[in-house]
Amino acid sequence: MNLKIDPRGIPSEGLHVEGQLPVTIFALSEDDPARPVSPLQYQLTVLRDENDIIVHGHLAATFELTCGRCADRFQTRVELQTYGLDVEIENEDPIDLTIYLREDILLALPTYPRCETGNVTPRECPAEGKFSPETEPLGTELDEAADRNVWGTLDQLNNTKRN
């Protein structure tokens, strides 16, 4: 199912469309860390302006993501409350808005998801504070490594490869 708009059928006052597109429109691979768990819901107004169609409205979809800290799965709802899009009209053919809606929702996903930012079931991340320098001091091995002559070690490695 796609959301196709025929530019010739847009009345002067605009066209209001609402509904949902199935999760299959996201076409994410099985190993993708983001998994859609709800259809893409849309409430849009479509206007025609000579050679363009102008779309504005609301988009929403829920995804399951993996927390970048604790690696637990959590859900977050992506909502674009003031969505806007301009698409050039070519040959008066119907325009499939599905691709644009899909990409804009996927681009709104967090790049470094954390479970405490999930807005479906709020929770604290179980790994909160476990990896900060204050709670896990660096070991002496790392301190000694920092004191070594790094360039000398690299020279030794380079000499070993030549032999």
At 160 the pLDDT is 66
User: Which residue range forms the structural domain that includes residue 53?
Assistant: 4-137
Determine, yes or no, domain membership for 160: no
Is this prediction's pTM over 0.95? no
Distance, in Å, from the CA atom of 55 to the CA atom of 138, rounded to the nearest integer, reads 53
Residue for token pair 């709800």: 38
Report, as an integer, the average pLDDT of 30-48: 93
Digit-coded pLDDT (tens) for 60-109:
999 999 998 888 999 999 999 999 999 998 888 899 999 999 999 999 99
Domain count of the chain? 1
Distance, in Å, from the CA atom of 157 to the CA atom of 154, rounded to the nearest integer, reads 5
Determine, yes or no, domain membership for 52: yes
